[in-house]
Structure 1
């Protein structure tokens, strides 16, 4: 029993580390029959598209709670790394909020319930952590008329039986003590444990569950006992589950007698590093304290995210990582920290946390590269952007405005890489706001592109929910036999029809059981087979196709998709004739040609990965993939494009391994043994204790954890040919390649094209390159001659073009696309327009043959008003996939997407008008 302390009643005076707390919790539940599972990645498994990050201890266990997968044991305990950014601008301003933290939890899948969960929590709180019984208070669900539920009497009785006085059991409303993951699905009341820190931290009337400093909530017990359907009706779950969560960092704050988490053992070294690098002291000034807290929190978050395979980008989780990194960089620069400070922070994080999370040590070089790259790239524009923002803030104050325009925020985002959160935070420090509606309007085009790609994802999510429902009600898991065979005699275990679209006259009007019996055949059926040879979509590999046929030919259907549900699967078919009924025997046949082509591409992907790591280094990691019968696409972490020589070297290595006829083997082994052997693993994949490892040859150059289908020998691939290497995201490259017959066909087509070139140029094949070079030089000579003759304006009427200029805020503005030969011709045209328009802002662009040229000119009088040619041309170039810059009065840029030239001109016009209106 610990002696009472004014700040933390549980503090005993003995040193307690975060490692001690984690070990005490885990070992206690292991003694209670719980299996310890390692922390899952911060990137949710491929099968859970519902969230960008792992946000709770139960998140990786959702398939067990939903009944989609069978848990390894009914009792489980974890210490799960989690990441949340609901209000990133709050981080640093308070001493409580964190983005990255560890969540301790114990879970029961249909085993024990409220009484045992309460007993475990009470015993560990009292005997394990030394809390005094009279300092522990409990909250329970008070009931809710709208839900039709009364108080949680079962929980109340469980606590009373443990000796908790009724006056220390507080009933709280739905908002505090009823847990729901979403509008539908498993839910239930919860019970929370609070530590009474003493009346000196509040008033005698304070109670837990309210907003006060006296009571500290440290453990939440969720009783999943209900299921809510789409119309809000609650029904009891057949199996009642337990999900609990205890924040490790909050518990460390209590047991280490610290006022805030930033003084605990996981944070203090990071605060000290900031003090050392900045020469300032924590606790002396709010602005310094905020920056040091931001750096301590964000450095932990970005180090773990990078180690788990997230890379900075402008979309989805990559964007979230980037905004956290850039916020940290901004605060570090504000403290005057030296270049490379993010790497110093990551080193300390790794030293502190790698004993529990070895991936930090394994990926330390990768983390270092990403941090150095982002700090360098953002550092180049941060100072310029901050100067620009200072000007905007000063201008807003001088005009007595409420804030800065949305167009200005968009310019900061698009030109200087400022996340809108960062702009909002900095502006708020000066008592100003941002026209967020205007900003969102200017972002709409980019968002529209993202939404256009998301429609199919929503449909796929709905299909997955239907498949999960069918699998959950089937009562069995399909056995996948597709590694051994492509043909199987099996039984239909369950059937569900996907509702046909009534607006489509080609779809029958009836669906489901009634439709089948009435002769109406649904356009799509979801089936569950007892055994299946069909590979389900996963690991980047597409699903198998094939056919299902009833015994005796009474029915036939084409397999169009196979939905993976953890270790289970559901088959989607397009019926061709007959009906499919549960219990019917069917023959399942995989399309062998498609399976083999896909296998060639999958093994080719492994060889490509190995060749890239051999050439470029161990920082190369898979960041995404597509493996189908037509091609392979491989995204990998690397900070620069590959030269033609490097691509040839990679291709040569792969084809050498193919010609050497290496055997390809798939082995089952333990996860620890696979790691010992150096097997590559996917960052966002969830692995069990037993894993499937695919190795090529003796495994010395390729050994990966993989559930996909592969060839038996590399010779089956025949040939791999790289088609293209491009950028997929910041510091992520993408290679597309083909193998087998597709590669042979590609080579034959190139031979045919080469033959055509020899005939057109009238030279032998070995001289085609030289002949083309001579032709290009002749074209350049003719273009130079045309410019000398004054005809390079391509027929552009300069007077008519000048007349198209508009007046904005008292200034002439001209932004137009013109048909001239090249960028030099644009410059000549701009010079002629300047003489006609006087004090003007001019942007001209031309496009063709896969290239865009842009020129911007701004009169000095307009530069003084905030219009800068370099910023304008950058905004335009970003739209066409390029870049550039120059002086405030004259700048040039280029791009690679001439089809978007008109959008670029519009962006330039908007940027000019925004600068003038500011």
Structure 2
């Protein structure tokens, strides 16, 4: 039974049990600061578990995309660990409980999947007698196949009774498949608690029946919930009778492609097999991350994704793959996952471009790492040392992507070793940090003011598509993290209403501003945010006071909203024009729509030419001038896709979506506000185009009166320039070119004069040099000099004496530049210009470094340059007198 069949059977089975099949949440959870990535099926139903949700059902079933990196070091090494995986689940929100859950689980496994009963075992929490008796008396499992474990293994969250966190929790019952005595440790008493892989955990049934309070007290919940999770890959492994998750149908094609790329046969538990499994896992994780809008970066989710990609690239180098290869696996992932995730295949070219760009960057980084390692080996050799520090080895690993064995191999070729203990200590610190950042960062369930508001209301009704003002009831007033009853004049407040015309920031469109008013009392709203089903009005009381439960007249700034609407509709037309001019791959990656301008990010791997920009502008304005109608329809997601609507990267869509169509050329799924006809936009001008990330470009543009005001401002500047240069507009370019040419000639003459002046000072510098142990020390400040002037002066000075130490400094435009130069004899004695310049730069608030014979440094405190030069004189004097060998860092 292939993976798609298992997935479909599961969802269909529970649909017949009156469950709603609900779409997977994005890997990027919305409005949930407690997790970096979606890691479980229950994440999107937190409010439903607390009885505060708005979803119109009490039973749901999902196949949830999940990403976890807490056990990343086990990926590829074990049969079951993944970073990305799919979690099948069925959920009850205060509806059915243990008996039905256990009955249906058994029915699905035995009757639907045909699994042999004698191969199934279960575990229950040691104090959960109710579950034990259901398995024993009702299902009829032999007691020898029912295991009772403690809160570490059979409670959710693990160890919750003893350690917390506070909040909903409960016992769980796990179902295991026995692969037989020939698999695993072979011990006679082996049971599901053993880590030997004989027993595969295939389903976890969580019964949320308690609320843990302070002191570890478990208070029964008034509404009991069910949350189950079945790892799809593990179930496929069992159903397909293979030894590991990586041998199932959705991994075999990826590994087969890897075999062809690496020219290596995949073979069980070999080191090559571990690397190939890890590559297959990581590339799949990254493909789904990119599809959900996460791009490689240096922080947060982007950093996790970048590390996964780089681990896979490093593994490829260990397999002997020298060129970019991961991007070639993207279409394979798209093919094997297309039935349930068609967007992956549709966007495979864009995803592959992002992956390849990251690969190319990382290969450059590896070259830099090789150069850095060579510098460190040179230093070790010079200092007659043999061991590279663990910190330096870890920097090669963390920054440049060198696995430890690669570093050891390169070092061994030159007779060096590495401090492995030091490396492991640094690696342990990083693992703790990574595990913390990839898991929950707060309570499992929200405990802030919004959580309490959800007990009072199911959300805010948005009226802003049809109205710009309405009467509304105040549900809550929030100050900081507290709910308050009254807010007085001058105080800031967040107001939650039962209905509103204010648009909460989402989909790239900024939130509305305006006024809330009641009997002369006023709150000026400066921003509006959206949190799940609530719209938050953020502002300040400017007259009187505002009380909870009061009625207010809510009115948006309609002029500002109209400008925002024009820019939002313009982004849709711009999207159409981009795809027409540079190709269908130019999909939206992000946007920002304000009243002043619009920003549109799209997939493309090179800057737009001026001709392309003009062509895009022309198409957009042509569509605007046609005054096409803007039609908004609510459709099923299936109907919208059949109509040709574009769904955006990283967005989650339910069964019912809002399609915005402009004429017959632009159709997008969008929740924002728009004009009624394209002609209302007026005019669009592109004012900027740039790169924002690997394979992502950004266009900035203006519409309507903002465009007119910008053109008038540019016309004013041109007139001022003409007046200042005493010329006419048609001769402005020629006049400017003449002046620049004249300026260039004057600069050349000035440079000659300056060089002559400096040359004249060289002899006096040498004559007035301080002499220490036969070495001439020159520390001088040169006025109005460039770094090039300092270097040339140092070169001339070096030719005038055999043993010389030179420090030259200058200050220009609020910055200090310092050049340090040493004669060959001093370098041979162990002095290092790079280290010396770095020490001196500290005095002027900077840093630097370079070669042993000449180095450059800089700083940001020009007023301390004289102090730095005095320090330089003493530093050189001490080093020369002491004869201490300075080693390069």
TM-score higher than 0.5: yes
SS of the residue aligned with 2:362?
helix
CA drift at 1:720: 3.0
2:505 aligned with 1:537: yes
Cα deviation 1:68-87 (Å, max 9, x = unaligned): 54225322222222222235
What is the rounded CA distance, in whole Å, between the counterparts of 2:56 and 2:806 in structure 1? 68
- CA contact 2:453–2:476 (8 Å) conserved in 1: no
CA drift at 1:134: 3.3
- Unaligned regions of 5+ residues in structure 1, if any? 1-15, 143-150, 452-457, 502-510, 806-810, 877-884, 910-914
2:665 aligned with 1:677: no
Aligned counterpart, 2:460: 478
CA drift at 1:311: 2.1
What is the rounded CA distance, in whole Å, between the counterparts of 1:857 and 1:621 in structure 2? 53
SS of the residue aligned with 2:739?
helix
Instruction: Give the TM-score of the pair, scaled to structure 2.
Output: 0.80
Matches within 5 A, 1:836-855: none
Aligned counterpart, 1:32: 17
What is the rounded CA distance, in whole Å, between the counterparts of 1:863 and 1:678 in structure 2? 73
Aligned counterpart, 1:13: none
Aligned counterpart, 2:469: 487
Change (3 A) 1:799 1:637: farther
Aligned counterpart, 1:596: 562
2:370 aligned with 1:404: no
Larger deviation, residues 651-660 vs 786-795: 786-795
SS of the residue aligned with 1:176?
coil
Cα deviation 1:826-869 (Å, max 9, x = unaligned): 653564476689899999999869x9999999999989999999
Larger deviation, residues 391-400 vs 227-236: 391-400
Instruction: Give the TM-score of the pair, scaled to structure 1.
Output: 0.78
- CA contact 1:497–1:522 (8 Å) conserved in 2: no
2:624 aligned with 1:658: yes
Cα deviation 1:307-352 (Å, max 9, x = unaligned): 3332222232222222222222222233233635223322222222
What is the rounded CA distance, in whole Å, between the counterparts of 1:812 and 1:57 in structure 2? 74
- Unaligned regions of 5+ residues in structure 2, if any? 159-163, 410-417, 770-774, 842-848, 873-885
Task: Give me the CA root mean square deviation.
Answer: 4.9
- CA contact 1:277–1:338 (8 Å) conserved in 2: no
What is the rounded CA distance, in whole Å, between the counterparts of 1:255 and 1:864 in structure 2? 72
What is the rounded CA distance, in whole Å, between the counterparts of 2:724 and 2:358 in structure 1? 49
2:571 aligned with 1:621: no
Counterpart selection for 2:97 from 113, 127, 132:
113
2:230 aligned with 1:246: yes
Cα deviation 1:471-509 (Å, max 9, x = unaligned): 4111433221111001112333x22442599xxxxxxxx
Q: Which of 1 and 2 has greater Rg? A: 2
Cα deviation 1:589-626 (Å, max 9, x = unaligned): 11212212222222222233333323322222333322
Larger deviation, residues 538-547 vs 728-737: 728-737
SS of the residue aligned with 1:323?
helix
Aligned counterpart, 2:728: 764
- CA contact 2:488–2:544 (8 Å) conserved in 1: no
Change (3 A) 1:377 1:577: closer
- CA contact 1:310–1:317 (8 Å) conserved in 2: yes
What is the rounded CA distance, in whole Å, between the counterparts of 1:394 and 1:855 in structure 2? 23
- CA contact 2:314–2:403 (8 Å) conserved in 1: no
Matches within 5 A, 1:332-411: 332-337=316-321, 339-386=323-370, 388-389=372-373, 399=385, 401=387, 403-406=389-392, 409-410=394-395
Change (3 A) 1:382 1:411: closer
What is the rounded CA distance, in whole Å, between the counterparts of 2:762 and 2:78 in structure 1? 60
- CA contact 1:396–1:403 (8 Å) conserved in 2: no
SS of the residue aligned with 2:153?
helix
SS of the residue aligned with 2:647?
coil
Larger deviation, residues 588-597 vs 49-58: 49-58
Aligned counterpart, 2:450: 468
CA drift at 1:207: 3.3
What is the rounded CA distance, in whole Å, between the counterparts of 2:119 and 2:766 in structure 1? 80
Counterpart selection for 2:133 from 125, 132, 157:
157
What is the rounded CA distance, in whole Å, between the counterparts of 2:608 and 2:7 in structure 1? 45
Larger deviation, residues 747-756 vs 20-29: 20-29
What is the rounded CA distance, in whole Å, between the counterparts of 1:177 and 1:890 in structure 2? 66
2:19 aligned with 1:56: no
Cα deviation 1:279-314 (Å, max 9, x = unaligned): 323238833223222222222222222333322222
CA drift at 1:779: 2.1
- CA contact 2:292–2:651 (8 Å) conserved in 1: no
CA drift at 1:244: 1.1
Aligned counterpart, 2:259: 275
Change (3 A) 1:405 1:917: farther
SS of the residue aligned with 2:722?
helix
Aligned counterpart, 2:517: 549
What is the rounded CA distance, in whole Å, between the counterparts of 1:394 and 1:582 in structure 2? 72
What is the rounded CA distance, in whole Å, between the counterparts of 1:703 and 1:863 in structure 2? 72
Larger deviation, residues 299-308 vs 813-822: 813-822
